[in-house]
Chain A
Amino acid sequence: MTPSTSSAITLNINGEKYTLPVDHRTTLLDALRERLDLTGSKKGCDQGQCGACTVLLDGRRAVSCLQLAVAAEGREITTIEGVADGERLHPMQQAFLDLDGFQCGYCTPGQICSAIAVIEEHAAGWPSAATDDVRPEAGVPALDAEEIRERMSGNLCRCGAYVSIVQAIAQAAEAAGTQAKEAAA
């Protein structure tokens, strides 16, 4: 029996449900952009190498160009359109604005989604390839420029706005850390 090559699926995106029929070949990126008019996620390389299409799947960053839409059913998808709190920008969006963390802006939605996840991964104690001692006893190092560059290496910027991107993420990380300390106090 030839299997069906399309399905009706329901995607949970930014807290809303969208039901649509998809050819199984449809990537999540194409579903977002071409079918649901959520064009914030950008198509750069379409082969998982540039990070412009980065979204959060169940709170974790992923490249939507290598994620089949049909396989994303049942997962919580957050795109750049869903990171702000109403009219109030996400602190990472604000930091990119404050510190000019972009030039042409094409890679920016992916940079911001990725950077939001970097702060959460770091807060959860995840080491990186820049971390000298990965043993849990050593603790996780501060999110300095070297750690940020390594953790963000999956997001390319052809304008080369990296210096400001690193500064923006460092500022947002510091603000998030201060907030966490205040909440704990």
Chain B
Amino acid sequence: MREFGYERAFDVSGAVALLGSDPEARFLGGGTNLVDLMKAGVERPALLVDVRDLPLGGVEFTDGGGLRFGATVTNSDLAAHPEVRRRCPALAQSLLAGASGQLRNMATVGGNLLQRTRCGYFTDINKPCNKRSPGSGCPAVEGEHHNHAILGASAHCIATHPSDMAVALAAFDAVISYETADGPGELPISEFYPPVGDTPHIETALPPGALITAVTLPPSPVTAHSRYRKVRERASYAFAIGSIAAALDVRDGVVREVRLALGAVASRPWRARTAERVLIGGPASAEAFAAAADAELAAAEPLAENGYKVTLMRNLVVAVLTELTEEGSR
């Protein structure tokens, strides 16, 4: 591991200034991904700016019933928060589905959003990887890719985004607030993760040196009737091979409102807007759910070894929307 300096920041402007003092500096949150990648040589910061002690650890309500939580709230505190569980169960479930009890205690909201892909070629510095080393190639396209993207990928990179939390945030239109040396800004999550295109090394739309300060979930009653389901290759403590965050409001058998996002299928959490459009105003039936899933997945471009994900995601959409419909009618 490369040697590095360490500074602890106690206020947001101080943290941003410290980061700006060194082009090779990185913010350190829980460190569960960054420290691991430093050991592997993938990340080689010259300076770590520890942001764990910043006053960004609150969960509060916004006018009209939204939720706002700070960037240093741990994954476990957010998952356990009664109002998160009441107003947006899918968000709590997505957090609980991620990593282990130990890692959730360490990991922060900001770090969760910025975590890197677990593609085996990205994490092995002896392999080419367009994300880690632009222009070097993507061995996954012809190689080991059974858990890679089926939607929105490019020939340059087929890696998936690993976050569970971000899938729920994508379904519920979260807004990410940040601070820079030039002042604050915000990005809707739909713009936070840019399409992969030919720039897989550019993973977020954050300006250089920006510090994530908070995430806001806008008021939306439908999120109280939501669910996150994750499929993995073992019962617990593994990254998803497919996941879904969904919220559904059905009245008299008709879909009044629906939110749908898919995980582990693309370089970013995949908001299923095509499926949502097909569903709105239509019947809440298994056939309609399947038709909506098919409409979304028509754009899928599976590779030799990950075609199962198309079937998996279709079945997940039908299963979770059916469950939400049955729960809602009780």
Contact = CB atoms under 8 A, between A and B. Distances in A.
B319 interface: no
Contacts of A114: 101-102
Interface in B79-116: 79-80, 82, 85-86, 89, 92-93, 96-97, 99-103, 105-106
Contacts of A5: 3-5
Given A48-B32, A153-B100, A134 B92 contact: yes
Contact of B106 (A3, A46, A63, A117): A63
B60 interface: no
B144 interface: no
Nearest to A58: B105
Interface stretch (B46-54, B265-273, B280-288): B46-54
B190 to A, nearest CB: 26
Contact of A70 (B6, B22, B100): B6
Interface string A132-147: 0111110000000000
Contact of B5 (A3, A126, A155): A3
A173 to B, nearest CB: 15
A178 to B, nearest CB: 24
Given A24-B6, A71-B50, A62 B106 contact: yes
B102 A134 contact: no
Contact of B76 (A126, A131, A155): A126
B28 interface: yes
Given A61-B101, A66-B31, A134-B96, A46 B5 contact: no
A125 B85 CA distance: 12
Contacts of B100: 51, 153-155
Contacts of B4: 3, 5, 24-25
A150 interface: yes
Nearest to A22: B6
B1 A25 contact: yes
Nearest to B32: A66
B89 A135 contact: yes
Interface residues of B, number: 43
Nearest to B53: A74
B235 interface: yes
A104 interface: no
A47 B35 CA distance: 9
A23 interface: yes
B39 interface: yes
12 contacts: A3-B4, A5-B3, A23-B3, A24-B6, A48-B102, A60-B105, A63-B32, A63-B102, A71-B6, A114-B102, A118-B101, A121-B76
Interface of B: 1, 3-8, 22, 28, 30-32, 35-36, 38-39, 46-48, 50, 52, 76, 79-80, 82, 85-86, 89, 92-93, 96-97, 99-103, 105-106, 230, 235-237
Interface of A: 2-5, 7, 23-25, 27, 46-48, 51, 54, 57, 60-63, 66-68, 70-71, 114, 117-118, 121, 124-129, 131, 133-137, 149-155
The 10 closest A-B pairs by CB, nearest first: A3-B5, A154-B100, A153-B236, A5-B3, A153-B237, A136-B82, A129-B96, A126-B80, A60-B105, A24-B6
